[in-house]
Amino acid sequence: MTASTHVLHRQFAHTLPVAVSARGIEIVDREGRSYIDASGGAAVSCLGHGHPDVLAAMHAQIDRLAYAHTSFFTTEVAEALADRLVAGAPAGMSHAYFVSGGSEAMEAALKMARQHFVEIGQPQRTRFIARRQSYHGNTLGALAVGGNEWRRRQFAPLLIDVTHVSPCYEYRDRRADETPQQYGARLVQELAGAIDRIGGENVIAFVAETVVGATAGALVPVPGYLQGVRELCTRHGILLILDEVMCGMGRTGTLHACEREGVVPDLLAIAKGLGGGYQPIGAVLAQQRIVESFQRGSGLFQHGHTYIGHAVACAAALAVQQVIERDRLLDAVQRGGHGLAERLQAAFGPHPNVGDLRGRGLFRVFELVAARATKTPFDPALKLHARIRREAMARGLMVYPMGGTIDGLRGDHVLLAPPFITSDDDLDRIVERLQAALAAALSGVGA
């Protein structure tokens, strides 16, 4: 344990175990305890830890060239990664803009969208519309489009003015007299109303996570909802920015989560599983017409950071993506996803405090309730999510519990996002430990 520290950690009250090594799906601490990484950190470590092919690619790159600033050079590895990403991207996407993480990807996407309209002579477009209970990152632009009240509150005076509409949260918000399709159509109508109030000609983009990740917990869109959103945006000349930082790059069983929705965004933000945690890397994939508006106009994208397109990060990401293809890991995600869903259903389906089990692929959540019939959440003061995290860690299990599921304050859920290489036996061990952790956490709150 860290007795004293000069690292400004995320929280002051906690002492963290010191991670010293990791292999496969396990991380080992300095005391020799090992933890199954059933959340891939925060849905990052898609290949697990210490993958020999990724390490070899990184070593080879470091030996040749670790870094060359992108205003002086391009690199073979950045070009190769971009070629690969564009080849696998939704229709019409022609370029990848590399950054160092998810928030940077979202910042870049917001600025790309704005600059596009300046380039094509529509500078009056200044507004973004996004959804409550989404998370797009912690930098000011990303935080502004994000819709999690708790994360935004103290910084709100610093944030650009963004219109937020309802999330697609079937478990809580679909009325009993609605089909999923009708519920989706109602949400599209709500967005249409927001666009009309602002004036469609003033809106830059609608921003959404294809499958909502951390803040509301693996919210899968109802059928037709994102298609309706896409049509609406197209009708008003509004860009659609999909944030697949967490749910993308295979996590839900297709390379991009939007493939399952039959929707093509104008800009697509990816990160986490792109580099699998071997290096910090994210990217924005952009439609050709957006890039062309820059080419024909000012001739540059007015943005940039020191480490964009970092050669070692690109080498790591390229290797991760090659392994995923070579080892057919998207199939493994679909298979493992079914296996995990079945196990969770068996273990928690009948549980009186589990209100909803949801997700797609190896991106699964259960939402906790004090009473199933009324869907009443636990008192936020109990911090049930933090207790589950503690109890899981005490049993050698990393999961990703979160509070504020419903509105940033109320609600608790537990997210699982294990590596794509997780075996059936591993899934059994994960669910077993999770059952024990949940039981201990619930008994701690008297449930």
Q: Which of 89, 106, 205, 427 binds ligand PLP (CB under 6 A)?
A: 106
Least distance to ligand PLP, CB of residue 247, Å:
7
How many amino acids of this chain bind ligand PLP (CB under 6 A)?
Answer: 15
Contact flag: residue 308 with ligand PLP (CB under 6 A): no
Q: CB 300: neighbour CB atoms within 10 A?
A: 10
Least distance to ligand PLP, CB of residue 60, Å:
26
Which residue is at the shortest CB distance from ligand PLP?
Answer: 102
Least distance to ligand PLP, CB of residue 146, Å:
8
Contact flag: residue 116 with ligand PLP (CB under 6 A): no
What residues between 206 and 235 interact with ligand PLP by CB under 6 A? 209, 213-214
Q: Which is nearer to ligand PLP, 102 or 339 (CB)?
A: 102
Contact flag: residue 271 with ligand PLP (CB under 6 A): yes
Contact 300, 280 (CB under 8 A): no
Q: What is the DSSP pairing of strand 203-209 with strand 363-368?
A: unpaired
Instruction: Show the beta-strand stretches assigned E in 151-248.
Output: 163-165, 203-209, 239-243
Tally of CA atoms within 13 A in the half-sphere of 35 that contains its CB: 24
What residues between 124 and 153 interact with ligand PLP by CB under 6 A? 135-137
Q: What is the DSSP pairing of strand 93-99 with strand 282-287?
A: antiparallel
Q: Which of 399, 358, 403, 406 is nearest to 380 (CA)?
A: 403
What does the chain come to in residues? 447
Cα(18)–Cα(16) distance, rounded to whole angstroms? 6
Q: Which is nearer to ligand PLP, 61 or 210 (CB)?
A: 210
Q: Which is nearer to ligand PLP, 135 or 378 (CB)?
A: 135
Least distance to ligand PLP, CB of residue 315, Å:
19
Contact 100, 308 (CB under 8 A): yes
Q: Which of 36, 246, 324, 431 binds ligand PLP (CB under 6 A)?
A: 246
Q: b/e for 252-291, b at 16 or more Cβ within 10 A?
A: bbbbbbbbbbebbbbbbbbbbbbbbbbbbbbbbbbbeebb
Identify which range of 3-11, 240-248, 339-347, 370-378 contacts ligand PLP by CB under 6 A.
Answer: 240-248
What residues between 342 and 361 interact with ligand PLP by CB under 6 A? none
- Within the chain, what is the greatest distance between any pair of CA atoms? 64
Least distance to ligand PLP, CB of residue 50, Å:
21
Residues that bind ligand PLP (CB under 6 A): 42, 101-103, 106, 135-137, 209, 213-214, 243, 245-246, 271
